[in-house]
Amino acid sequence: MSPVFEHEMDKLRTRIIKMGSLVDEQVEYAFRALTEWNVAMASLVMERDSKVDKLDFKIEKQCQRIFALQQPVARDLRLIMAALKINSDLERMGDLAFNVARSVEGLLPHRTLIDQLDLGQMTAAVQKMVRHTIDSFVNNDPELAISVMKSDIRVDQYEERLSKQIVDMMKAEPEFIEPGATLIVSLRNMERLADHATNIAEDVIFFTEAKIVRNRFDAEAFAELQRELHADDPEEEEAE
């Protein structure tokens, strides 16, 4: 590997990690803005969205430059392909965090009703998925990526349950129909955040293991295969 190519790959990886850290913060602040009714924090998320977009552009251009000038192969090629997809998912996650933050001010007058809902379980589950999927890339950890994929069903269940509760509240309180609809959209944005975290987990597995895993059932099968391989590993047997 030439020094120039090595520098470009290190720079690309650093930028993806920086993008992941920024988006992780955007999600955290957006969720805190909603659950703590912090309009100032919601404004901060919206102001910083342009930083996500600018970094997205830099990463995309860098990947294109490496493809054009360096002709990567094997693991390096997988990293660039994964970086392009991860970058796209992170940018979209930033947009979704922006959407959640933007809804806070309009929902604020209805906080008494909304506080009756337990949004904390869903926001915590989604934020954990976002953080773990970024960590799985930083640490080249396919097992953590698999755990992210398996967590997606729990977020789907939270969204379904909360949406039903909101609909019931809308029926009981007609003045809650409009804010209730806004809140359902915010829940959908959270669920989509979890989906994008799952997409990144798939790309981490592709990069680290050269395997294509497309859903949590594939992830479970892949995890089982890994366990079987580790069970036959003579080094592990000696360690035991």
Alpha carbons 125 and 155: distance in angstroms, whole number: 7
Q: What is the pLDDT of residue 205?
A: 92
pLDDT in tens, 63-122: 999 988 877 788 889 999 999 999 999 999 999 999 999 999 999 999 999 999 999 999
Q: The whole model's pTM is what?
A: 0.89
- Please answer whether residues 145 and 130 qualify as being in contact, where contact means their C-beta atoms are separated by less than 8 angstroms: no
- Please answer whether residues 120 and 183 qualify as being in contact, where contact means their C-beta atoms are separated by less than 8 angstroms: no
The domain that contains 214 carries what CATH number? 1.20.58.220
Amino acid (one-letter) located at 149: M
pLDDT in tens, 109-129: 999 999 999 999 999 999 999
Cα 80 to its chain centre, rounded Å, is: 19
pLDDT band with cut points at 50, 70 and 90 for residue 142: very high
From residue 73, give the alpha-carbon distance in Å to each of 70, 81, 212: 9, 11, 17
pLDDT in tens, 183-228: 999 999 999 999 999 999 999 999 998 888 877 777 777 777 677 6
Q: How many domains does the chain have?
A: 1
pLDDT band with cut points at 50, 70 and 90 for residue 2: confident
Tell me how crowded residue 235 is: count the other CB atoms within 10 A of its CB. 8
Structural domain of residue 70, as residue ranges?
3-239
Q: Which residue has the tokens 């803005």?
A: 33
Residue 4 predicted with pLDDT over 90:
no
In degrees and rounded to multiples of 5, residue 2 shows phi and psi of -70, 155
Q: What is the pLDDT of residue 1?
A: 64
Burial class (CB in 10 A: 0-12, 13-18, 19+), 108: middle
- Please answer whether residues 34 and 119 qualify as being in contact, where contact means their C-beta atoms are separated by less than 8 angstroms: yes
